[in-house]
Structure 1
Amino acid sequence: MDQELDGTVRALLQKAGECNAFIRQDVERALESMVQHCTLTRSMNALLAGGLGHLNSVVRKCAALHLSGLVERVGAARLLSGAKDLTDRILPAVCKLVQDSSQEARYFGRRMLLFLSSHRDFDKMMEKFVSAKDLPTIRDAVFTLKIKGLGEMPQDAPSARGRRSLSGSGVMRTSSLTRDPLSGSRYDTPATHRSEYVKQMKTLLNSKDFRERIKAIDQLVCDCEENPALVIGSLFPVFDALKARLQESNSKVSLRALEALQPIIALLRDSLAPVLNILIPAVVDNHLNSKNSSISTAALGAVQALMHNIDNSLLLQPFCSKAQYLSGKAKLDLIERVAELVTELYPRRPQLVEQKVLPLFWTLLGSSSNSGNVRMATAKLAEALHAHMGQTLLESAASQPASVQSELNQLLRALQCLTDELTHG
């Protein structure tokens, strides 16, 4: 079948643009069967060739829908490997769909973009295979997606051409391509299913029996592994309920919730971006300073999981804010995490780092109440900043009070002495 795939897919996509709803449903089933049984890369190239540049927006949407499913099956690592006829085809195609005139085609373009952007080689491959004029637009789109999330799939407005009256009844049957949100498709979760799932999870997570609440947390981990689309489609209500478990007084439940966050974060990765403002305060505000060592260790593990799996540029602002206003061990932990973020992000996002980190740094240098441990953590941050900014750090400090400049000079001299000792020791 692979040898005839290009012609077959082109013919099927052409039929997807017809007005007969039954034909369009058959086309969708045939293309889903292709995705299941044909070579993935051949299927992808056939969809790109037959649907990407089609004049009919319904055809482009149909191609984008099935292309999105293929992208998720092939995986970001393979697609961003730089392989010929793979990376050089999929990235420009996704960027084109992100800017498509069809709202539905754009949705699937953004979905693929969000999926691919979580891979560590995404930026490098984008610079290599996406035109310079499109790069700023695509980077803005990625940033917005990671902040606001993908959102619901837009619903087609049914038209007289796109529906047909069922024989013997007044019921109108529309193409499955226009149902919200793709009810029956394996690529999206029906809204009714999500609603039932949210209701069930909220009931379990808010149960009066703490054992039921623990079971619900364990169930959420399983759902993230077995049906991540369902969880991602229900992020806000589910993680609002999980937040309550992270903050509750029963240490058995809060500990289980903290421990569960590590696999949840590893499984959902950047899809969690819209709920970071829920998760980060729930983890760091109380638990990093907990006297229960199991809880504080689990909280730090959750923070580390965020750093390993989430786009670090999304963590910089909340970590800086918490490092500035928290106290005790939590303050130390977060200052050290910010220093790590500086090392990771500055080569790629220098302006972002300077904008978010320097205000924290000046505050730390200017505070006379800092303990010795905070000074040590601040020294690590100074070392990270100076390693990347060099003389620019001193120039930026020129606008700060004399006490801040003096403290910075002392820290840098101490770091230089330590470096000299290690070099000549």
Structure 2
Amino acid sequence: MNLRSCVSRVAMDTLGIMYTHLQKRMDPMLEATVTALLNKVGVANEFIRQDVDAALDCMVQNCTATAAIKALLAGGLRHLNNVVRKCTAQHLSTLVERTGADLVLSEVKGITESILPAIASLARDSSQEVRHFGRKMLFFLASNSQFTTMMKRYIPEKDIPEVLKITNKTQEFTKAQTSSPKAVRKCALPAIGAVQTPAKTKTYSVAEREDYVEAMRAQMGSKDFQQRVKAIDKIVADCKEKPSFVAACKFPVFDAIVARLNESNRKINQHTLEALQTIIPLLKDDMAQVLNILVPAIVDNHLNSKIQAIHEAADGALSSLVCHLDNALLLSIFCTKAQTLSGNAKGHLTEMVAVMVTELYPRKPQMVEQKVLPLLWKLLASSTNKGPTTTLCYALYLQMGEDLRQFAAPQSMDVHKALIQMMRTF
């Protein structure tokens, strides 16, 4: 790392400490410092982005809500870089949850009038990652009795129909998910509007993170079976106590987890898969950048396991991903794996894709058509997995209607015929 990067990281650590200890005395400097941090997100490497996130977490948790909201909106709401807007939306979402819907919608000067139009804008952003956090905030606020009144008062009239459409679809999806236990068996969704109060964020230095990773790697790589079990349990405990810290170390942490999933000891495999069912709801979308290594490690090695306990643990880990992460992050890799798998695993993954279709198609129709339809054509061309294929086809039919038949027109006669026969049963 060059000297300038080292200086930047020390400066960001220092800002985090200042936010934590000076608290409201930092309010006059928030707009300048937050804007500088957000600008760094758009051009920096992953390590510096993690430092930016840590500093902004400290700001959100310790500084005055009004000043923090103004600073985030001023620094990132209209930024041209998607990464900056996503970072802004993510920390704004945390801030909204910390502040509470009652206060956000109470017309406190500087909060309601500025944040509602901003959330409406983020919920309709061109980037799906930004939209995710914008819609999360909308849904959180929509459970409050004052939401409709404040929405009409502060959100531009031309935007209100789309905002209502977003909140209604989110509520419909939640009801559909909770009424379909078969689709995601291991996961319990939180009640509408239920949000855990974030804990106070501690500032962690670069040295602390490096020490943590070094100790974690040593214990996770131990030749002693019991030490590896303890290492996995410690990661779970750390996710409960300091999830933002684990998220800041996610790459080495999940490299170690994947190594345990890939080892030959079946007890370690099962213990790791079961631990993931606790880790995933705690880290949620912070895991987005490690899905490309985590999902294959679960699917390829364990979903077809003949050991029932391991198969169930793998199924539970995948179900937890579907339940707790934005499905747009999962769809591509799940569809790819469902096409290449064989046996029962193919059916399990296909059913999970069907669940994703219900949630994703209203907001990402092109993504679903590009990723899911090739999977359906391949399944229809095969005589196996008829039950899961029917489930997926029905999920697509509910969203696409007769358009599904038109998309099948360029396919082979066998695929087209199989689709027509299946649709007649709906």
Q: TM-score range by the shorter chain?
A: 0.5 to 0.7
Residue in 1 that maps onto 2:75: 97
Give the letter for the 2:72 counterpart: V
Aligned ranges 1:3-402 → 2 under 5 Å: 32-33=20-21, 35=23, 47=27, 51-52=30-31, 68-72=57-61, 90=69, 94-98=72-76, 111-115=87-91, 129-130=117-118, 139=127, 142=130, 188-367=203-382, 370-371=383-384, 374-402=385-413
Larger CA Rg, structure 1 vs 2: 1
**Cα gap change, 1:31/1:366 in structure 2, threshold over 3 Å: closer, same or farther?**
closer
Preserved contact between residue 64 and residue 108 of structure 1 (Cα < 8 Å): no
Cα distance 1:72–1:251, how it changes in 2: closer, same or farther (>3 A)?
Answer: farther
Give SS of 2:425's match.
Answer: helix
* 8 Å contact from structure 2 (residues 123, 130) kept in 1: no
CA distance in 2, matches of 1:56, 1:129: 20
Residues 109 and 396 of structure 1, relative CA distance in 2, 3 Å threshold: closer
- Asked if structure 1 preserves the Cα contact closer than 8 Å seen for 2:39 and 2:84, the reply is no
Counterpart amino acid of residue 210 in structure 2: S
> Does the CA contact (< 8 Å) of 2:85 and 2:130 recur in 1?
no
So what's the TM-score if we normalise by structure 1?
0.64
- Report how many aligned residue pairs link the two structures: 322
**Deviation of the 1:298 alpha carbon:** 0.8
Aligned partners of 2:243 and 2:283 also within 8 Å: yes
Give 1:130 shift.
2.7
Distance of aligned partners of 1:52 and 1:329 in 2 relative to their CA distance in 1, 3 Å threshold:
same
What do residues 54-111 of structure 1 show as CA deviations (whole Å, max 9, x unaligned)? 99959999x998764353579xxxx9xxxxx89xx93x7534422688x9xx998754
CA distance in 2, matches of 1:258, 1:119: 32
Question: Aligned-pair distance for 1:261?
Answer: 0.2
Measure, in 1, the Cα distance between the counterparts of 2:18 and 2:58: 14
Distance 1:58 1:196 in 2: 25
Gaps of 5+ in 1: 1-24, 80-84, 146-184, 416-425
* CA contact 1:68–1:108 (8 Å) conserved in 2: no
**Structure 1 residues 231-263: Cα deviation after superposition (integer angstroms, max 9, x where no partner):** 222212221111111122211111110010011
Q: Which amino acid aligns with 1:393?
A: L
Specify the code of the residue in structure 1 equivalent to 2:315: L
Question: How far does the alpha carbon of each residue in 1:94-131 deviate from its partner, in whole angstroms, 9 at most, with x for none?
Answer: 34422688x9xx9987545335569999xxx9996238
1:350, distance to aligned residue in structure 2 (A): 1.0
Paired letter, 2:271: R
Amino acid at match of 1:378: T
Distance 1:56 1:191, change over 3 A: closer
Task: Give how far 1:389 is off.
Answer: 0.4
Instruction: Give 2:317's aligned amino acid.
Output: A
SS in 2 for 1:241: helix
In structure 2, the gaps of 5 or more residues are 1-12, 41-51, 98-111, 134-199
CA distance in 1, matches of 2:293, 2:268: 18
Residues 404, 127 of structure 1: alpha-carbon distance in 2 compared, 3 angstrom cutoff: farther
Residue by residue, what CA displacement relative to the aligned partner does 1:138-197 show, whole Å, maximum 9, x if unpaired? 73663899xxxxxxxxxxxxxxxxxxxxxxxxxxxxxxxxxxxxxxx9654222221221
Contact in 2 for aligned 1:117/1:142 (Cα 8 Å): no
1:343-366 per-residue CA deviation (whole Å, 9 max, x = no partner) reads 111111111111110111111112
Instruction: Quote the Cα distance in structure 1 between the aligned partners of 2:264 and 2:218.
Output: 19
1:204 Cα deviation from its structure 2 partner: 0.8
Partners in 2 of 1:261 and 1:60 — Cα distance?
Answer: 34
The 1:127/1:300 distance shift into structure 2, 3 A limit, reads farther
Checking the alignment, whether the CA contact within 8 Å between 1:332 and 1:377 is kept in structure 2 is yes
* Change beyond 3 A, Cα 1:119–1:256: farther
CA RMSD in angstroms, aligned pairs only: 4.3
Q: Which amino acid aligns with 1:270?
A: D
**Structure 2: distance between partners of 1:127 and 1:390:** 38
Secondary structure, aligned partner of 1:286: helix
User: Structure 1 residues 194 and 277 mapped into 2: Cα distance closer, same or farther (>3 Å)?
Assistant: same
Give the partner amino acid of 1:272.
Answer: M
Q: 1:276/1:394 Cα in 2 relative to 1: closer, same or farther (>3 Å)?
A: same
| Distance in 1 (alpha carbons) for counterparts of 2:37 and 2:408 | 57
Aligned to 2:417: 406
Q: CA deviation at 1:391?
A: 1.6
- Check 1:99–1:64 CA distance in 2 against 1; reply closer, same or farther (3 A cut): farther
TM-score, normalised with respect to structure 2: 0.64
Taking the aligned partners of 2:95 and 2:20, their CA distance within structure 1 comes to 26
